[in-house]
Chain A
């Protein structure tokens, strides 16, 4: 008798469990990938759910993990900071579009200097990261900063120790600017850092922690980290020859003034963009979706989610978290040229 009771009970539990699982999957869209946009995706997801939409289950496992998961079809969408090439997209039947923008910001630790006080160009930044410039008082840095009394402190270069989209954007920029960087180091999520006096940090927080602790150090972090840690960032000379301070409108300007239609698959690095107000080391975080998804209902909801994120409400939330929203002209382009390829019916 006891055994029978137990059997009934366990059957009951299993059935209820299955029931819950069903409910959960129908009211949940899933995504995985880049960690950089995770905070803003979470915030959007919360607000999207409040409007009556499904909840979002986003696994912040890193860009290459996101690509693996979408290719394994375990999630409704993948997210990556480093865009896939058009050939790769075509081969797997995926489409790609940017969902949020950010800026990579060079930061330094030198006593007595205010954020934005030191000016920098891509060439000199490449020389520092190549180890060609060893002290802050070097004449190449001094030439960009007349009137500033730069100390003879040796420079310690701080870079990401883990593979990351931030490094991919940063090295892509240096490769575009400096032929020496391009031939000696190249670009990628993780490269061989040539400077002798260099230190690696794990994640944006690791680089930020190292730069704030090492006197005379220079590093590069996402804008949100530079801002929240009150780090001493630099002005950068952009492609138009203007010195720019890092800020959200300048990251958006890089996206707005880029001709996306030139790159099939939208896999654009927004570095060294042409606009007069464009921050030179901006980058987008991308979303990957199948053209013919298996779970059409879920992908329809995913598109609704991003439609919501591109709205004015979504833009404001992104700005609150120090991300730069996708400019309206790019949103129109995405809806017209990318989403139209996705078959959700």
Chain B
């Protein structure tokens, strides 16, 4: 096995270029897959978009027999449930992450942290079944009447908390979603809070800052990118969540001002109707819904990116 130096060098060069091209190839497959999805979604959604035009996104009609389709109801359901889920999950996750990184005694960090991660590992259908069988009955019996009796009495927003106490509905789906995205946001927040250099925090504590001040002035500014990334990941999961939402959202193709009422999301509509949809306007409209979900995700990701760039600029040059 005597190889000259040039042979070794040649061999290494080949290895390097093979390695380089193969990793490049792997990266490109992602792009190809993404492009393929967009093209096929658009191709299959085209008949519906062509027939109903841009009105598809604004129409609340979903008449399978009459062949009239509009995507506003599921789009509304998707956006509203995800928004409420974030409204609940973000402050909670923030609290948990702060507790785990700043306040929790060391020996409790691991069990708490593992518990949060385990919550993330629960399959979504389990959340759906848990929601329908254990969460909905007490929610309908105690929580909804209590909400109607308190928040429901406030003028203007009171209408959000009115109507029959069925348990199943937009609010219930939002709460289950909040529970599902909580571990994602929490673990990312915890991980990024952990990477704040101790010297920064210790200096702040040294000049007499309270824990709250350290969190707001040191930790959050240092980790803003990561925190927003975590929230976006949670939002992404909430937007596309299918099974759990299908179980508890009520699957009614209607928009009601009340959050107690049943509704539907894009993912739940697809899960319910895709299997039995006849080729034609119905199937094509379902593809158009899938495309809408894709577009919503794209818009939200772009907004997040835009926000990050603005924040970076406001902070000036970061090292």
Contact = CB atoms under 8 A, between A and B. Distances in A.
Contacts of A65: 275-276
Nearest to A215: B140
A202 B253 contact: no
A188 interface: yes
Contacts of A156: 164, 166
Contacts of B256: 196
Interface in B280-301: none
18 contacts: A64-B275, A65-B275, A154-B164, A162-B273, A162-B275, A163-B275, A163-B277, A187-B65, A188-B64, A191-B65, A192-B62, A196-B254, A196-B256, A197-B261, A200-B262, A202-B271, A213-B133, A213-B168
B113 to A, nearest CB: 35
B64 A162 contact: no
Contact of B250 (A64, A164, A200): A200
B259 to A, nearest CB: 15
A334 interface: no
B183 to A, nearest CB: 26
Interface string B246-283: 11001111101000011010001001110111100000
A135 to B, nearest CB: 11
Contacts of A154: 164
A213 B132 contact: yes
Nearest to A82: B276
B252 A198 contact: yes
A206 B62 CA distance: 21
B256 to A, nearest CB: 8
A190 B63 CA distance: 9
Given A202-B251, A213-B167, A192 B65 contact: yes
Contact of B273 (A61, A190, A193, A214): A190
Interface SS of chain A: loop
Contact of B63 (A63, A162, A189, A192): A192
B66 interface: yes
Contacts of B66: 186, 192
A189 B253 contact: no
Contacts of B132: 209, 213
Interface SS of chain B: loop
Interface in B142-175: 164, 166-168
A201 interface: yes
Given A200-B251, A200-B252, A202-B246, A214 B276 contact: no
Contacts of B133: 209, 213
A198 B272 contact: no
A199 B168 contact: yes
Contacts of B240: none
A110 to B, nearest CB: 15
A290 to B, nearest CB: 21
A193 B253 contact: yes
A26 B99 CA distance: 65
A161 interface: yes
Interface of B: 62-66, 132-133, 136-137, 140, 164, 166-168, 246-247, 250-254, 256, 261-262, 264, 268, 271-273, 275-278
A207 to B, nearest CB: 10
Given A202-B246, A213-B132, A193 B275 contact: no
A121 interface: no
A62 B272 CA distance: 12
Q: Which among B164, B253, B264 has the highest number of chain A CB atoms within 10 Å?
A: B164
Contacts of B252: 193, 198-200
A252 interface: no
B300 to A, nearest CB: 27
Given A162-B272, A190-B276, 12 more contacts: A63-B276, A156-B166, A161-B268, A162-B276, A163-B275, A188-B64, A190-B64, A192-B253, A193-B253, A201-B251, A202-B272, A213-B136
A210 interface: yes
B166 A199 contact: yes
Contact of A164 (B140, B268, B276): B276
Contacts of A193: 252-253
A154 B164 CA distance: 8
Given A161-B251, A188-B64, A197 B164 contact: yes
A198 B261 CA distance: 9
A230 B310 CA distance: 60
Nearest to B269: A161
Q: Which among A191, A197, A200, A213 has the highest number of chain B CB atoms within 10 Å?
A: A200
B124 to A, nearest CB: 14
Nearest to A201: B251
B273 A163 contact: yes
Contacts of B262: 198-200
Contacts of A206: 247
Contacts of A186: 65-66
Interface in A203-251: 206, 209-210, 213-215
